[in-house]
Structure formats: C-alpha cells, structure tokens
C-alpha cells in the first residue's frame, strides 16, 4: 500500500493509492458476495406462506400477507370465499395420491366467476372461426382500412392481466444479473473499479 500526503486549500488530505491487483480482486469478490447475501435475504424475507405452513393460517393472516383492502361490505364475502377455498386446499394437500400441493396466493379470495374472467379463453369466439381454410383472393384493396384498431374495444383481446411479482421472477432477475457480473469483469479486465 502506498500513501501520499497532500495539502489542498489549507486542508490536510490523505490519499491512499491501492496498486495491488489482489486487493482489487478481493474487493470485487467481497462486493459480489455481499450482493448475493443481500439478494438472498430479500428473496427469503418476502417469501409467501407455503403449502406446508397452512396449519393455523386464516383469513386475517391472508389479508395481512397480501395487503388486501376491501370495499365496504366486501370483507365478509371475501372471507367466505377464502375459507371455502382454504378447506379445499387443505383437503387436496392431505390426499397422498396427489403428486403436487396447493397453496394460497393473491387470488385465493376471488370467486369462480372472477377467476374465469381472468383466464382469457372466450369460447363464444371459437364458434365464429371458420373450420375450413378459405382461399385468399387474388387481389385485395387496402382502401378503407383504418390507421389504428384497438382490439380491446372490439372484444378480441383482453387488457393485460396483473401477474404480480412472484419470488421466482425475483430470483430469475437476480440470477440473470449475477451471470452478467463475470462478463462485465472479463470485458473490463485490467481496469480499476475504484
């Protein structure tokens, strides 16, 4: 380590110069390790209740965990829907023949009609699709075609659904970022990070 003393505008300034490649590499490793620890903590701190943690779990826990806020008079209906679904979830998880487990999520308090409207398939549109291919006309005129069409207004597509931010997507983003660090280091080999 090389230290130099300089006086600037009456103030005593100590400048420390690190010329050690090993020190820079150690600092890079320390920064990456600290980032990994913080990301892992954030990932697990925001983890939602898992299927095996549902004993004693109730609507009050659900409302807090998913930050639910209901309109006046809606609370009792949502609680009833949630509790009925939680009974089905627990029954499914107790059945040893099932090869997968169910859990709760931000949609557990939704009615079947609400869930159906979110799934996207509209069977009434399928009936209007021709079953046989039709020949394309030899010539076609583009006169009268509008400059803009909003297919949502026509009922062809639905608005974008809230898919939420799952722990998997957070992990995926973190892993993508962490895989880029070695590439950035390789691209800037020999350059100081300080």
Helix (H) or strand (E) holding 11: strand 11-17
Could you read off the pLDDT of 104-116 as tens digits, one per residue?
Answer: 999 999 999 998 8
Give the percent of the chain with pLDDT over 90. 26
Q: Give the angle subtended at the CA of 114 by the CAs of 109 and 116, to the nearest 5°.
A: 120
Helix (H) or strand (E) holding 7: strand 2-8
State the pTM of this model.
0.44
Q: Which two tokens stand for residue 43?
A: 């990932």
13 contacts: CB under 8 Å, gap ≥ 6: 5, 6, 7
The rounded distance, in Å, linking the Cα atoms of 125 and 156 is 8
Q: Does domain 48-118 have CATH number 1.10.287?
A: yes
Give the 3-state secondary structure of residue 37. helix
Could you read off the pLDDT of 115-162 as tens digits, one per residue?
Answer: 888 877 677 777 776 677 777 767 777 888 888 888 878 888 876 666
Q: Hey, where are the domains in the chain? A: 48-118
Q: 24: how many CB neighbours lie within 10 A of its CB?
A: 16
Residue owning tokens 């009922």: 155
């Amino acid at each position: 380590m090389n230290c130099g003393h300089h006086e600037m505008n009456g103030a005593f300034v100590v400048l420390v110069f690190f010329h050690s490649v090993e020190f820079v590499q150690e600092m890079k490793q320390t920064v990456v390790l600290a980032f990994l620890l913080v990301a892992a903590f954030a990932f697990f701190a925001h983890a939602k209740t898992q299927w095996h943690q549902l004993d004693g779990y109730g609507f009050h826990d659900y409302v807090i965990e998913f930050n639910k806020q209901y309109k006046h008079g809606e609370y009792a209906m949502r609680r009833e829907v949630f509790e009925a679904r939680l009974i089905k979830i627990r029954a499914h998880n107790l059945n040893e023949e099932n090869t997968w487990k169910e859990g709760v999520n931000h949609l557990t308090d939704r009615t079947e009609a609400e869930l159906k409207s979110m799934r996207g398939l509209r069977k009434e549109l399928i009936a209007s699709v021709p079953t046989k291919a039709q020949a394309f006309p030899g010539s076609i005129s583009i006169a009268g075609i509008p400059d803009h069409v909003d297919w949502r207004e026509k009922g062809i597509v639905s608005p974008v659904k809230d898919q939420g931010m799952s722990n998997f997507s957070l992990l995926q983003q973190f892993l993508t970022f962490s895989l880029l660090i070695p590439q950035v280091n390789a691209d800037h080999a020999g350059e100081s990070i300080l």
